[in-house]
Structure 1
Amino acid sequence: MDKGAPLIVVGVALVDGDGRILVQQRPPGKAMAGLWEFPGGKVERGETPEAALIRELREELGIDVQQACLAPACFASEALGERHMILLVYICRKWTGIPQPLEATALKWVRPVELHGLDMPPADKPLIGLLDALV
C-alpha cells in the first residue's frame, strides 16, 4: 500500500435489544493494548469497507453479518504515526451467532453514555456523542 495513502479502518457499534453497544479490549502485544474499541479492522486492498467489516466480525467475534444490516453512522480522521487513518463506523442491530472474544482480551456490553468512562483510542472518543444520538 502507498505509504502516503490514508489507512482506511472500519468499526461497528453492535447494538443489542437493550440499546447497549459491544466494545472489545485490545490484547497485549498490539498497539494501544488494553484500550477498549469498537470491533473492526483494516480494509484490505480490493475490499469494500462493508466486506472488510463482515470479514473482521467473523474473525474477531465469530459472528455473521449481512451487508444490508450495516448502516453507515459516522467517521473519524486521525493522524497515526506517519500515516493518516480514516475510521468509518457503522451501526448494526442484527447478526447471527453470539459474539466471542476470539482476538480481544475481553468483550463488554455498555450503554452509550458509559463509553465516556472507558479508555478508548483517540479516534474513537469523538464518535461517542454521535453514536449516543444515533442509538
Structure 2
Amino acid sequence: MTDQIEPAVVVVVAAALYDTDGRLLAARRSAPPSLAGRWELPGGKVEPGETQERALVRELREELGVEASPVARVPGEWPLKPGYVLRVWRCSLDSGVPAPLQDHDELRWLAPADIWSVNWLDQDVPAVKSLSED
C-alpha cells in the first residue's frame, strides 16, 4: 500500500467587501490581457507561511489601498485552474476609500439588484452566486 500525497493547492482568497449600504465591491481587471475588462472580487494568493485572513488584509491594502477585516468565510471553494482554488471571505471596510491600484482599472459598488450588471470572470460566478443566495 502506498500513501497518496495530494499535490499542493494554491489558495486564492477574495473579498466580498461590503459598504455600510450593503453594496458589494466589484473590480474590473486591466491585466493580464486575457482577463482585461471582466469583473472579479478583489483578492490574491496566500503566500507561504501566511494565513488566509492575513493574505486577504494584505491583498486589499495592496490592490485597493484600504484597511479591511475578514468577518466570516463564505462556505465552499471554487476551482480556478489546476492546482488553484478560490475561497471567499465576507469583509468589512475599516478605513480608506477603495481605488484601483494594481491589475484593475475600475471599481464599482453593486447593490443587490445590480450584482449581475457586470461581466464577472467565469471563475468568480459560482462564488458571487453563493453570495447572492445568502
The normalised TM-score by structure 2 is: 0.83
> Per-residue displacement from partner, 1:45-76 (whole Å, max 9, x unpaired)?
1111101001001000111124xx43111333
The answer to whether the Cα contact below 8 Å between 1:14 and 1:93 also exists between their aligned partners in 2 is yes
Identical columns (%): 39
Q: Which runs of 5+ in 2 are unaligned?
A: 1-6
Moved over 6 A (4+): none
Mean Cα displacement is larger for which, 43-52 or 4-13? 4-13
Task: Quickly say closer, same or farther: Cα 1:37–1:79, change in 2 above 3 A.
Answer: closer
Aligned with residue 38 of structure 1, among 37, 41, 45: 41
Q: Distance in 2 between matches of 1:25 and 1:57?
A: 14
The answer to whether the Cα contact below 8 Å between 1:74 and 1:127 also exists between their aligned partners in 2 is no
Q: Classify the secondary structure of the residue corresponding to 2:15.
A: strand
Mean Cα displacement is larger for which, 6-15 or 27-36? 27-36
1:101 matched residue in structure 2 = 100
1:16 matched residue in structure 2 = 19
The answer to whether the Cα contact below 8 Å between 1:112 and 1:131 also exists between their aligned partners in 2 is no
Q: Does 1:75 align with 2:87?
A: no
Task: Quickly say closer, same or farther: Cα 1:30–1:70, change in 2 above 3 A.
Answer: farther
1:87 matched residue in structure 2 = 86
The normalised TM-score by structure 1 is: 0.83
Aligned positions, number: 127
Q: Classify the secondary structure of the residue corresponding to 1:46.
A: coil
Mean Cα displacement is larger for which, 115-124 or 104-113? 115-124
Distance apart, 1:9 and its partner CA: 0.2
Distance apart, 1:21 and its partner CA: 0.3
Mean Cα displacement is larger for which, 24-33 or 57-66? 24-33
Q: Classify the secondary structure of the residue corresponding to 1:25.
A: strand
The root-mean-square deviation of aligned C-alpha atoms, in Å, is 1.8
Q: Classify the secondary structure of the residue corresponding to 1:118.
A: coil
1:125 matched residue in structure 2 = 125
> Per-residue displacement from partner, 1:82-124 (whole Å, max 9, x unpaired)?
x232111011134111111111111000023423232112221
